[in-house]
Chains A and B, each alone.
Chain A
Amino acid sequence: MNPTPALGLSEPATARPEGPAAPPAGRAPATTGRERLLSLVQRQGVLAVLLAVVLVSSFVYPTFGTLDNARGVTVQASFLAIVALGMTLVIITGGIDLSVGSVFALGGVLAAWASQWGIVPALLLPLVVCGAIGTVNGLLVAKAGMAPFIVTLASLLAARGLLLAITHEGATTYLVPRHSAFAELGQGTVWGFGHPLIVALALFGLGGVLLQRTSFGQTLFAVGGSSDAATLMGLPVARAKVTVYLLSGLLAGLAGAINAARLSSGVTIVGVGMELDAISAVVIGGTLLVGGAGTVSGTLWGVLLLAVIQNLINQIGSLNSSYQSVVSGGFLILVVVAQRYLVRGRRTT
């Protein structure tokens, strides 16, 4: 039935070819050198590409390699990074969250509105509302068994509707009070690097630990590898699914709030198409869209690669910004096709 069988590392044993030479099931360590190499390329290939692009462009474009530019690029990228972190967790369970762009915008407007009462409401309100949207997504996916694609498509529409309603159809812009603690959260810097970057890096650290070092993380891989097998193993599948959508909603709302702090206002038109940028970054970062395998570090490199491409196209100057999406789309095709063949190569060895 399933056109693309689960290709995850934690594939159930029955899906493997049986035979005397069959490798042990589950997350077996790579044994042959070739397999180890393929695994390394799949996991860290994007980091190599990123480093190569950064190195070459630093030589070619003198303005690219400067610290100032690095500060600019990383702050820009940190919002997408936070959103893509949540998306990574959702995709590892074999799901998808299309609502993040709308939730990002909604979080920003809610934060800007609540910022008149201080930083705590400004952060709490978006987290509560966006977390609730994520929870509803998760419940509909996990308990009602509806397709993640459609559930989150509906909440994409609903969140944007809600956003329009609280901004009086986009006519009202809520401003963040100047020099408030909340504004500082978006605009302040540490050694010239913006606060949003610090937040993003901290969250990625937490996300990495959560995914790699906790039983919750192992559950996510198991659910993504095979939801049925995970259920049979007695893992809390439904709870894991609800949690990833909740986290995705929270992270998108938080990113939106920090973005509002940075821009000093809740801008209603942000976040359109962000879900697809986030998915692109996750996929480029080596996380399999079928679920069951992935890393948060890969996502971070994927986000940075997209940001560097955008920055380079601005540096080149003679290319207009339309080339950015062409190059991003091209990268996406290259990566997923390469990934596909690498995974196929691993399975046949």
Chain B
Amino acid sequence: MTQATAVPARGLTRLPSSAWFQEYGVYAALAVLLVFNALFTERFLTVDNLRTQLVQVAPVVIVALGMALVIGTEGVDLSVGSTMALASALLPLYLGYGLVPALLIALLTGAVVGLINGALVSVVGLQPIVATLALFVGGRGLALVFADGQLKQIVNPDLLALGTDSVLGVPLVVVIAGLLALAVAFLVQRTTFGRQVVAVGGNRAAAALAGLPVKRLLTGVYVLCGVLAALAGVLATARLTASDPSSLGNLMELSAITAVVVGGTPLTGGSVRVLGTVAGALLMQLLRATLVKHDLPDSTAQIAQAAIILAAVYVARERRSR
């Protein structure tokens, strides 16, 4: 009883705690931004605009879902942008055999990239930054080699449909990103694999002592991240109607890490916040769109983004030190 009265009393006299901010801050910020836009931005609450925003953020969400899993294991994957480019570069080479074989090749490439990253992290024991740096550097070069350094127009109608089709008025890429978010949330919260991954991120030594297959779990996480990045590459290619290995996925690793961190997943591992990651991606997307719509230049957007990242991590740090 005393406790029940003590808590709200404290809440009245103090600002919400940093734990509260880490838990709900991203949603609060997103809500504030939405309300601001609804009130002050012309034609913000139109179906067209909302659809555009969602379509633009969809590839980031898909990559960030994989990144959230990796960061949950106290890792990081710098190679996601290069993986997108690789998947995109391979598509035109195999589209002649039809969409399904080309898609399978692209996704398989993502899996192979993830397998290499995962093996370097779990078997060789490299730091994730170094392990994935090699494919960040080499992957895009490989993509350019496959594509002969050229941008290739995509004419395959099946692939283009992935970028333009809608389901009940919702663009297909948005539906796919949403379904994947649900799937990853399910994976994290309801499956043994997900729980074991979180356990490995929380305390690897303890997880190993408890008999968890640490190496296999870590590798699996990087493979998932690679496949998701490859899928994002395919969808981005379909949206662009061209395979552009030199610029597709540039800086995607930064956007994805940002979404995950702003979403409240700690860089120290041990927790994966799927919904937070989606909200983090949406927040960064909306922030940029808002500033652009109010005629503030891109430079301001980048500085604002930096400030939000720092705020999110500062809050997470407070939480950890308790």
A322 lies within 8 A of B306 (CB): no
- Count A-B pairs with CB separation below 8 Å: 153
A312-349 contacts to B, CB under 8 A, are 320-330, 332-333, 336-337, 340, 344
User: Which residues of B lie under 8 Å from residue A162 when comparing CB positions?
Assistant: 299, 303
Q: Whole-angstrom distance between the alpha carbons of A325 and B204 in the complex?
A: 33
Q: B314 touching A146 by the CB < 8 A rule? A: yes
B76, B127, B134: the one contacting A290 at CB < 8 Å is: B127
Q: Does A199 reach chain B (CB closer than 8 Å)?
A: no
- Scan A138-155; emit 1 where CB is below 8 A from any B CB, else 0: 001000111101110111
The 8 Å CB contact of B321, one of A1, A145, A156, is A145
Q: Of residues 290 to 322 in B, which have CB atoms within 8 Å of A's CB atoms?
A: 297-303, 305-307, 309-310, 313-314, 317, 321
Partner-A contacts on B (CB < 8 A): 74, 76, 78, 120, 124-127, 129-131, 133-145, 148-149, 203-205, 254, 257-258, 261, 267, 297-303, 305-307, 309-310, 313-314, 317, 321
Residues 119 to 177 of chain A near chain B (Cβ within 8 Å)? 140, 144-147, 149-151, 153-158, 160-165, 169
List the A side residues contacting B127 at CB < 8 Å: 3-4, 289-290
Count of A interface residues, CB-CB < 8 Å: 49
Asked whether A197 is an interface residue with its Cβ less than 8 Å from the other chain, the reply is no
By the criterion CB–CB under 8 Å, are B309 and A329 in contact? no
Q: Which residue of B lies closest to A166 (CB)?
A: B299
Write the A1-30 contact mask toward B (1 if CB under 8 angstroms, else 0): 101100000000000000000000000000
B260 nearest CB across to chain A (Å): 11
Task: With A155-B306, A161-B306 as known contacts, state yes or no: A328 contacts B129, CB within 8 Å.
Answer: no
- Chain A's closest residue to B270 (CB) is A1
Per the bound structure, the CA–CA distance linking A189 and B191 in Å amounts to 65
Any B CB within 8 A of the CB of A276: yes
Residue of B nearest to A98 (CB): B254
Q: Is the CB of A325 within 8 A of B129?
A: no
A283 located at the interface, meaning its Cβ lies under 8 Å from any Cβ of chain B in the complex:
yes
A157 near B297: Cβ-Cβ < 8 Å:
no
Q: How far is the CA of A290 from the CA of B126 in the complex (A)?
A: 10
A87 within 8 A of B: no
* New contact pairs (4) apart from A1-B204, A289-B130, A323-B145, CB-CB < 8 Å: A153-B254, A154-B307, A325-B141, A333-B138
- B69 → chain A closest CB, angstroms: 16
